[in-house]
């Protein structure tokens, strides 16, 4: 239902753009809030960024503010995460998320729909 892509290996200071496409048959994508989480080895899944269904409101973890930008294209049923000035501590598996609630989409244990993860590795 949600398919993430765009991960890879990048040097510190570099950029990557993650994409997450939703199935039009199972999602009224434009009515869902969307988000991104990440999980590093041995750590819990943590919130990264979220965007309201109407694109008016964004939320970011403090660790990525000013470096990451979440956006969406409802015509393509796709959400993006532009990641700039990457740091080795950004290394993790990144997951996209969707939920009708813009509160629940920011809470790992309450997200309604998850995409498969995509690996991001930042070398120093």
Specify the pLDDT at position 24. 73
Specify the pLDDT at position 81. 98
Q: What residues pair up with 77 in beta bridges, in sequence order?
A: none
69 with 85: CB under 8 angstroms?
Answer: no
Region 13-41: mean pLDDT is 91
Quote the longest CA-to-CA distance of the chain: 42
Q: What residues pair up with 96 in beta bridges, in sequence order?
A: 36
Per-residue pLDDT of 47-95, as tens digits, reads: 999 999 999 999 999 999 999 999 999 999 999 999 999 999 999 999 9
**SS3 of 7, please?**
coil
Specify the pLDDT at position 91. 98
């Amino acid at each position: 239902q949600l398919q993430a892509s765009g991960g890879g290996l990048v040097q510190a200071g570099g950029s990557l753009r993650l994409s997450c496409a939703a199935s039009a048959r199972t999602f009224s994508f434009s009515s869902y809030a969307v988000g991104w989480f990440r999980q590093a080895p041995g750590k819990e899944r943590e919130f990264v960024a979220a965007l309201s269904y109407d694109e008016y409101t964004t939320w970011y973890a403090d660790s990525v503010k000013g470096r990451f930008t979440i956006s969406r294209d409802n015509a393509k049923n796709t959400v993006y995460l532009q990641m700039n000035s990457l740091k080795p501590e950004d290394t993790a598996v990144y997951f996209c998320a969707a939920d009708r609630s813009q509160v629940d989409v920011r809470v790992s244990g309450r997200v309604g729909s998850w995409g498969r993860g995509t690996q991001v590795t930042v070398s120093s």
